[in-house]
Amino acid sequence: MSGEIIVFSGYAGAGKNSIINEILKKFKELEYIPSVTTRKMREGESSGNPYYFFNLDQFNEARINGKFIEAENIHGNWYGTIKDKYEESMNKGHKIIKDIDVNGAIRFKELFGDNVYLVFVKPSNDKDVIDRMVKRGDSKDDIEKRMERIEYEKSLEKFFDTTIINDNLEEAVKQAEKVVGDRVNK
């Protein structure tokens, strides 16, 4: 495989999607392949943006049939990454940008090795994450579940190739542009 996957990960509310949306405006050569989820669609989302939305039966059928690189229940919802889409793009030599949870990021590295570059995104203050989740309309229960997971996710940062601090989206995007530019132009 000659392609590369640049994976943005970190905990919920860290700004991964916001950064990737800005990166995709600048780097038109990057490919974004949505994951699948069983969570409810939020306002402003549609199928394929930022996820394909499956019901639980559809998701379980795909999982049983080995269609996912990885699948995990996070915060009470299932998320999965469609295997054949990544293999096809990698074989064509494409540069792919991806956001995924920390376990999924590490699984990508295990499967695709040096063809994966891992970027951990976090704020310098965890309280900022709560504020971001409230602003985007997450429920109190969802926020509590996500906060419980933060310490675990932080413990995996050491397995990532680089870290971006997102206290200011504009600055975080500049950092991400540098990282992505180095990967795209190598």
Quick: pLDDT tens for 63-101.
999 999 999 898 789 999 999 999 999 999 999 999 988
| Residue 19 one-letter amino acid | I
CA 79 vs. chain centroid, Å, equals 11
Backbone φ and ψ of 52, nearest 5°: -90, 130
- Six token digits for residue 137: 């309309």
Q: If you classify domain 4-184 with CATH, what class do you get?
A: alpha beta
- The pLDDT, as a whole number, for residue 1 is 61
- The pLDDT, as a whole number, for residue 135 is 81
Q: How far, in Å, CA of 105 to CA of 7, rounded?
A: 6
Quick: pLDDT tens for 7-55.
999 877 788 988 999 999 999 999 999 999 999 998 888 988 888 999 9
Beta partners for residue 8, in sequence order: 99, 119
Contact 112, 70 (CB under 8 A): no
